[in-house]
Amino acid sequence: MTSELLDQALVEEATKKSGLIWVKGTGAPAARALWHVWHEGAVCLVGDGPGEQPLPGLADGGFAEVTVRSKDKGGRLVSWTASVSELPSGSAEWEAAVAELKGKRLNAPDGEAMTARWARECRVLRLTPTGSTTPLPSTNLAEAPQPTPATTRHPIPAALPRLLTGRRKRR
């Protein structure tokens, strides 16, 4: 009983303080970094709409593996299993979760109208801890980066390395 309470406290405090969590849904190829809020004993996420984070493999009634990193060092603190539930748009639970998410959303393209857009085009999910934490791995879990269409348009300027290292010509 005591270890369960300590695990629950660790999950809650670590998740509250971390700006990003790594979430791997059922059937997803890899874990994704997602911004979130901790609200009423669970993680709340918004996504799967235009301009919002993708939520692959996270389906209502499914499960997810959540990994929380340290805010100062970036290392893995705790991993835990969560049950996934989608909050129905307009419900009291949805309104409470969206009020918290709205305060944490950075650089929203539509400002105050974002909650209406979320209601029309996005999903709001609640990841509730199942009570079990996953033991920390003994091996390296580094993965190759996800494929992306983002590219560098031009090679870096020839003078950039000198500018970055601070070497300048004497006059």
- Total domains present in the chain: 1
Q: What percent of the chain has pLDDT over 90?
A: 47
**CA distance linking residue 19 with residue 77, whole number of Å:** 13
Range of 35's domain? 2-137
Domain-located, residue 65:
yes
Does residue 34 sit within a domain? yes
pLDDT, one tens digit per residue, over 105-131 is 888 888 788 899 999 999 999 999 998
Any domain includes 29: yes
**Model pTM greater than 0.95?**
no
Among 91-95, 135-139, 161-165, name the most confident range.
91-95
CATH number for 126: 2.30.110.10
- Among the residues of 18-159, which ranges form H helices? 92-104, 114-121
Give domain status of residue 168, yes or no: no
Residue 147 lies in a domain: no
Average confidence score pLDDT of the chain? 87
Query: Would you say residue 48 lies in a domain?
Result: yes
Q: Is residue 46 in some structural domain?
A: yes
Please tell me the predicted confidence (pLDDT) of residue 1.
61
